[in-house]
Structure 1
Amino acid sequence: MHITQLNRECLLHLFSFLDKDSRKSLAATCSQLHAVFEDPALWPLLHFRSLTELRKDNFRLGPALRSLSICWHSSRVQVCSVEDWLKSALQRSLCSRHESLVSDFLLQVCDRCPNLTSVTLSGCGHVTDDCLARLLRCCPRLRALRLENCARVTNRTLVAV
C-alpha cells in the first residue's frame, strides 16, 4: 500500500506528527499530499523559534489556528530592546532588516485567524501597542496574551485588553 492510498483523515493524522519543514517536504512529493498540507485543520498550533521562520513557506495561516508562539532568543533581542536614539549605526542596521517582520506577520494573523485563543511573543522588540490592539480586535476569542521582552509595548496594550 502506498501512502497516497490512505484517506484524507489518516493523512492529516500522519502529517500532525511532523514538524513544519517535514510537512513541507512531504507535501512537495505529490499534489494529493500538497492538498493535505494546505488543509487548515492541520495548523491549530504554530511555534516559531526565530524570525527567519516567519519568512518560510512551511506553514499555513487559517481559521483553525488556536495558538501562536513567536519566541526569539538571541543576542539580537538585546539590540532591539535598546532605545532607538541609543543605538549605533550597526545596531540600527540590524534592526531595520527585521523591524516590521513580526508586526506584518501579526497583521496577516489578524486577517486570517479569527479563532486564535493564545498568543505568546517573546523577544519581539519591535511589536507595538497598535499592532497588539488590532490583534485583540480581530481575534475576539483571544484569552491569553503573553508578552516578554517586547520593549515597545506600553500601558496602551493593557487598555486595549
Structure 2
Amino acid sequence: MTAREDDDPLSTRHIDVPLGARLRSIRENHGLTQAEMARRLGISTNQWGRHESGANRLPAARLWQFCEAMKIEVEAMFRDQPFAPAKPASAFVPLPEPQRPYSAHDPSQRHDPADPAPLESSGVLVQRIGAVARQLPEARQRTALAVLRALKLEDEN
C-alpha cells in the first residue's frame, strides 16, 4: 500500500483486501479454481484474481452473484471482518417516488397507488425501474441490469 493510499480518506483497501481474502477462502472451500469461479460469474480469471487480492473493488452485483453461486447470504461476507460496519440510520427516510410518464390512453397505468398488484402485472414496474436506471451513470446502469437479470434467473428457477 502506498503512502497516498494510507492518507486517502476515500480508500477502501481496508475493506477490499479482507473481503477478497474471504472470497478466496470460500471459493477454495467449495473446491473451485479461480478459472471455474470466473466462468460461473462471466468474467475473466484475471479480473476474479484482482477481486480476491483486493486490487480491484468488488461490485455489489458481482458480490451478490458470488453469494448466490456459493449458496451463502451476502451479510455473511461481512461478519467478523476487521473493519467496522456502518451504523444504521436512526430513522428511515423514504426516497421520493420517481416520476414516470403517464399516458391517459394506457389503461394499465390507471391504478390505485396503494395497490402494487396492477404495477407488477402490467409491466409498469419494469418501466419505472428503467426510467430510474436511465438516470444513473453508465457503470451503475450495467450493475442494475446485472442485478435485474440475476433476479429474473432466480424467478425462473
Q: TM-score range by the shorter chain?
A: under 0.3
Q: Which has the higher helix share?
A: 2
Greater C-alpha radius of gyration: 2
Report the TM-score when normalising by structure 2: 0.23
Report the TM-score when normalising by structure 1: 0.22
Q: Which has the higher strand share?
A: 1
